[in-house]
Structure 1
Amino acid sequence: MIKVGVIGFGMSAQVFHCPLIDSNDSYELAAVVERHGAKSQAKYPHVRVVRSIDELLAISDIELVIVTTPNDTHVPYAKQILESGKHCVVEKPFAVTETEARELAAVAKKTGKVLSVFQNRRWDGDFLTVKQLLLEKALGDVVEIESRFDRFRTYKKPNAWREVASFPGSGVLYDLGAHLFDQIVDLYGPPEFVTGNVRNERQIDGAPDDSFLVVLDYPSLNFKAVCRAGMLVRDKPPRFTVLGTRGTFTKFGLDVQEQQLKDGLTPRDTAYGKDNEFGTLDSEVLPKINVRGQVATLDGNYAAYYNNVAAAIRGDEQLIVTPEQAVSVIRIIELAKQSSEERRTMSF
């Protein structure tokens, strides 16, 4: 088993990383860095609580360290982990700037250690369903994907660094854009052009962006992706709308796994990952033969992310979520910001 250390025990560690590691037979959750208290030990009695990163890295048999701390710490902590001879998973976003992202990827290459960013939403059930429909050419040649992640909250959360404009990497562009852009990069690779509109729609003083509309354009493929997120969307539109030369696919509702993990379910539970919200396919299956019907959502599977990381550490599989892809996502975020500020389309 791969012994794992986790830096931080906030929402990300409590909801995602620790349950996914603890329920995976490839891993042992061995230690958690908590500056104060021992919340992790109350949940996982076998876990050792340490007070610093140095103390964690001194534990010789820990092979993998997961960084779940605020965004501006991801790069320095990950560098320290890699240079200590351990593998590393970083919570998204991979970095705050493209320059930092490239530097971190270079450290991983130099040390020969596995480095990945936690892009769990590649294993959302709805996204897996979209991938399967594309693979089966159920929509013909796909020309557009609209991908949205919307919420409704009119106020700023108290004591939340993600909602402080002066904090590096705050705002929904880094928080949700990192996921939406990664999904498109997974399907099509980096875009050729990026056009962004990034705004603070709630007009809250001291708050960062809370809304974005970013178009990733692939003219050589006759394809574009429209990625959107906002905090003032009470009546939710489709999570995915996929347009092709033979038809359209729409899917409402968010993937169920985050809520299930919050409710205490893990991948070991039979109900885990099962989404009862079907998508709708309206497509020409044969010339002049049109079919409209429901498409069952494939089971979500966040466990697959850590299964692949374990296999990559053991040398049995290629890493799926790579540092190179992570660099592309951060570049998209920076180009979207620049595009919005300068009101022009940016070349990738």
Structure 2
Amino acid sequence: MTEKIRVGMVGFGLAGRVFHAPVIASVPALQLATVVERHGEESRRIYPDVEVVRDVEHLLEDDDIDLVVVTTPNVSHFEIARSALLADKHVVVEKPFTITSEEARELTVLSHRQGRVLSVHQNRRWDGDFLTVRRILGAGMLGRIVEYESHFDRFRNQPRAGAWREEAQPGSGLLYDLGPHLIDQALVLFGPPQLVSADIRTQRDGGKADDYFDLTLHYEDHTARLKAGMLVREPTAHFTIHGSEGSFVKYGLDPQEDALKRGLVPSETPGWGEEPEERWGVLNAQVNGLHVRGKVETLPGSYPGYYQNVADAIQGRAPLEVTPEAASATMRVMELAIESSREKMALAFEE
């Protein structure tokens, strides 16, 4: 039996507690061994075998830790990931990768020099609806794609007091929060764009950070429009895709996030990631000479699939799916989007 990969997590806030720890615990190849918490020992209350330490240096000095997971605020990602790589640890960084594409490229080069696995937590590649979209497009069911649109719609009309994501500081705002998910998915489907254009705004009264973006990736024969906002009380479709042979429209978000927020654990929950029929997407297309219109059963989502792939890559059993190069491209798109919004013009994509 292969020895388990011992994981050290930096931070145990919402990201670490809800989106990382229970998923790590569901992957047999991984063992959550140590958590850095500055105050308290909440992680040990949930995971009694975990060691709690107070600083990153203590974690990095532990030769038994193989993989470091960084779940701290965005501005700290670069320094902690860099230190972990220099300590010969494999690293997973919560999205966004870093604050700038320059930092992302530096970490990418360092990971290759150190011979360590470096990945960014783009777990929404394992959303059930996105897996379904990949399958539909991969099978050519819509023909030549002419328009792709993906939304994250939310409604919270008052900024959250004291939340660092809503302060006017580097790495805050909705683009850095939800943009990496939407951009990464589009790049997985279509590759690098030719041009990037965006409109980024603060729509809520009293808001200090951006809370709305409308970002378009321009390709030779189609566009990929990515939108998110905090003042969308009546949700629009999550995915709308049109092609030369038909369309696919899907409402509602993957159920895994809500399940994790309710305290459910993937390995202990029957039917994990499955979506009820009323939320399945609708396909209307010409397929093999037949007109097909009806629901498409959403494939089960699997956030543990992300961490299983990281474990497999560390143990040399599979190539890494979310590479630092891919995450760096996402960072570059975000930078161009910010510049495009400021200059009110489309900009050529260059890594």
2:270 corresponds in structure 1 to 270
| Residue of structure 1 in register with 2:255 after alignment | 256
Moved more, 268-277 or 44-53: 268-277
Question: Residue 25 of structure 1: CA displacement?
Answer: 0.5
**Partner Cα separation in structure 1 for residue 288 and residue 79 of structure 2:** 55
What is the aligned partner in structure 2 of residue 291 from structure 1? 292
Name the amino acid aligned to 1:238. Answer: A
Partner residue, 2:118:
115
Counterpart position of 1:184: 186
Shift of 1:291: 2.1
Q: Which residue of 1 aligns with 2:240?
A: 241
The 5-angstrom pairing of residues 61-76 of structure 1 reads 61-76=64-79
Q: CA RMSD in A?
A: 0.9
Matches for 1:30-49 after TM superposition, within 5 Å: 30-49=33-52
What is residue 200 of structure 1 aligned with on the other side?
Answer: 202
Q: CA deviation at 1:129?
A: 0.5
CA contact (8 A) 1:119 1:179 kept: yes
Identity of aligned residues (%): 50
The separation in 1 between residues aligned to 2:145 and 2:203, in whole angstroms, is: 31
Superposed displacement of residue 286, structure 1: 4.5
Per-residue CA distance 1:227-272 (angstroms, 9 max, x = gap): 0000000000000001010100000001100111122222222121
Instruction: Say whether the 8 Å CA contact 2:159–2:204 is kept in structure 1.
Output: no
Contact 1:195 1:345 in 2 (8 A): yes
Amino acid at match of 2:241: V
AA matched with 1:80: S
Residues of 2 paired with 1:159 and 1:327: CA distance?
29
The AA in structure 2 aligned to 1:183 is Q
Give the residue type in structure 1 aligned to 2:142. L
Once residues 285 and 304 of structure 1 are traced to their aligned partners in structure 2, the CA distance between those partners, rounded to angstroms, is 30
Q: Does 1:217 align with 2:218?
A: yes
Select the residue among 127, 142, 150 that pairs with 2:145. Answer: 142
Offset, 1:110: 1.1
Distance 2:194 2:205 in 1: 32
1:329 is aligned to 330
Three-state SS of the structure 2 residue aligned to 1:176 is helix
Q: Which moved more, 1:321-330 or 1:183-192?
A: 183-192
* Partner deviation per Cα, 1:153-172 (whole Å, 9 max, x = no partner): 1101122100001x210001
Quote the residue 1:313 is aligned against: 314
Distance in 2 between residues matched to 1:97 and 1:115, nearest whole Å: 17
Aligned positions of 1:167-182 closer than 5 A: 167-182=169-184
Q: Does residue 87 of structure 2 align to residue 81 of structure 1?
A: no
- SS in structure 2 opposite 1:196? strand
Checking the alignment, whether the CA contact within 8 Å between 2:158 and 2:205 is kept in structure 1 is: no
| Contact 1:64/1:87 (8 A) holds in 2 | yes
Letter aligned with residue 333 of structure 1: M
SS at match of 2:282: strand
- Matched-pair contact (CA < 8 Å) for 1:142–1:242: yes
Amino acid at match of 1:305: Y
Partner of 1:340: 341
Distance (whole Å) between structure 1 residues aligned to residue 82 and residue 213 of structure 2? 30
C-alpha contact (below 8 Å) 1:265/1:272 kept by paired residues: no
| 1:129 matched to 2:128 | no
| C-alpha distance in structure 2 between counterparts of 1:324 and 1:190, whole Å | 12
1:15: which partner in 2?
Answer: 18
Normalising by structure 2, we get a TM-score of 0.96
Paired amino acid for 2:284: D
Structure 2 segments unaligned to the other structure (5+ residues): none
Matching residue of 2:226: 227
Separation of aligned partners in 1, 2:271 and 2:316: 31
How far off its partner does 1:187 sit? Answer: 1.3
Task: Report the Cα offset of residue 203 of structure 1.
Answer: 3.7
Using the TM superposition, give the Cα deviation of residue 322 of structure 1 relative to its aligned residue in structure 2, in angstroms: 0.5
Q: What is the aligned residue count?
A: 343
Q: Following TM superposition, by how much is the alpha carbon of 1:24 offset from its aligned partner in structure 2, in angstroms?
A: 1.3
**Stretch moving more, 277-286 or 8-17:** 277-286
Contact 1:101–1:326 (8 Å) recurs in 2: yes
Q: TM-score, normalised by structure 1?
A: 0.97
User: Any residues of structure 2 matched to 1:101-112 within 5 Å, and which?
Assistant: 101-112=104-115
User: In 2, distance between residues paired with 1:85 and 1:250?
Assistant: 45
Q: Which whole-Å deviations, capped at 9, do the CAs of 1:272-302 have from their partners, x for residues lacking one?
A: 1011111001112244x42210111110011
SS at match of 2:235: coil
5+ residue gaps in structure 1?
none
Q: C-alpha separation between the residues in 2 aligned to 1:112 and 1:246? A: 45
Give distance in 2, aligned partners of 1:252 and 1:188.
Answer: 21
